[in-house]
Amino acid sequence: MTRAQPEGPTVLTVLLNWRTADMTLRAADSAERAMQGIAGGIVVVDNDSGDGSFEKMSAALKDRPRFRVVQSGRNGGFGAGNNVGIRLGLPGGERPDFVYILNSDAFPAPDAIRRLLDYLEAHPKVGIAGSYIHGPDGEAHVTCFRFPSVASEFEGAARTGPISRLLRHRSVAIGVPEVTGPVDWLAGASMMLREAVIREVGIFDETFFLYFEETDLCRRAAEAGWPTHFVRESRVEHIGSVSTGMKGWKRVPGYWFDSRWHYFRKSGGTARAVAATAAHVAGGLILRMRRVVQPSIPPGPPHFLRDLVGHAFRRLVGKQGVDAK
């Protein structure tokens, strides 16, 4: 005899795994606790790990009725993997009222999902809500941002006091808000989307392999009249960069440049992508000049400006695709 589902709005929680089965199972345990009293289900998507993750998670979760474990069939990146779970819907195939995206290295507090759900229920004009994210040591993570712009590219690359003060309202990172309220976009470690938003603007753009996919989704939602809000009362512990290995990068990978270019091109055409790149190069050259007299200033990633310019040149010369709308 199966346990009756709670009444009320339904939530589909999507957990994406790539070669972190043990950590994903820990996140699944946390998500199950946080889903208590909430109608819906949890789908764990293995993003074609090829390391036995799918079999291990399937065995561990097979007797837990809330869960489905599925194989994506290909590693298409963060957005594509989450889209597999979003498309599946609830265990019976019905569409949920809300979709909750949770990273495999993120562990919601027992009331974290409920807090997001209650907030969206109480604010019907808000489309997306995200949690307050903190590390295992309790230190807050910066996960709230402004949309990237040509000005923010210049400011972020220059990292120079007078420029940053002049463009303080254009910089991407906005710190950790003290109170719940609107932001441009949120990191996708813990975010809940209204099903109405998905119906209107679609799911993740699978052109993005990693990075900028949640930025793009929040931008599309905002343009359709669905703002994103940060909900400080929803707390989630996050380790960070476990699947991507970002903390250990010695050189920024090509897919990051691909995602960045696609974001600017999609939101403003090739001219905007070129302008953003030129602004970043200009800011980066200012930083280099500062480091001549202040060598203690941390440098950017190795070969970053060269890779940035080379990527833009290849995109322009190769004429890859047409301007996205």
Q: What is the pLDDT of residues 277-317, one digit of tens each?
A: 999 999 999 999 999 999 999 988 899 999 999 999 999 99
The confidence band for 319, taking pLDDT boundaries of 50, 70 and 90, is low
Average pLDDT, integer, range 143-163: 97
Task: Tell which residue, 8, 6, 21, has the closest CA to residue 65.
Answer: 6
Is the pLDDT at 100 greater than 70, yes or no?
yes
What are the Cα distances from residue 269, in Å, to 174, 263, 264, 273? 26, 9, 7, 7
Element (H, E) at 192: strand 190-194
Res 5: pLDDT: 76
Average pLDDT of the residues in 204-223: 98
Tokens of 97: 């009222």
- Predicted local confidence at residue 300, as pLDDT: 84
Q: Give yes or no for residue 126 having a pLDDT over 60.
A: yes
Torsion of CA 185, 189, 194, 195, to 10 degrees: 120
Share of the chain above pLDDT 70, in %: 94
Q: How confident is the model at residue 323 (pLDDT cuts 50, 70, 90)?
A: very low
Dig out the tokens for 1 from the structure. Answer: 């005899």
Helix axes 213-223, 254-293, angle to 10 degrees: 100
Q: How confident is the model at residue 322 (pLDDT cuts 50, 70, 90)?
A: very low
The residues, any chain, with a CB within 8 Å of residue 194's CB and separated by 6 or more, are: 97, 98, 120, 126, 127, 128, 226
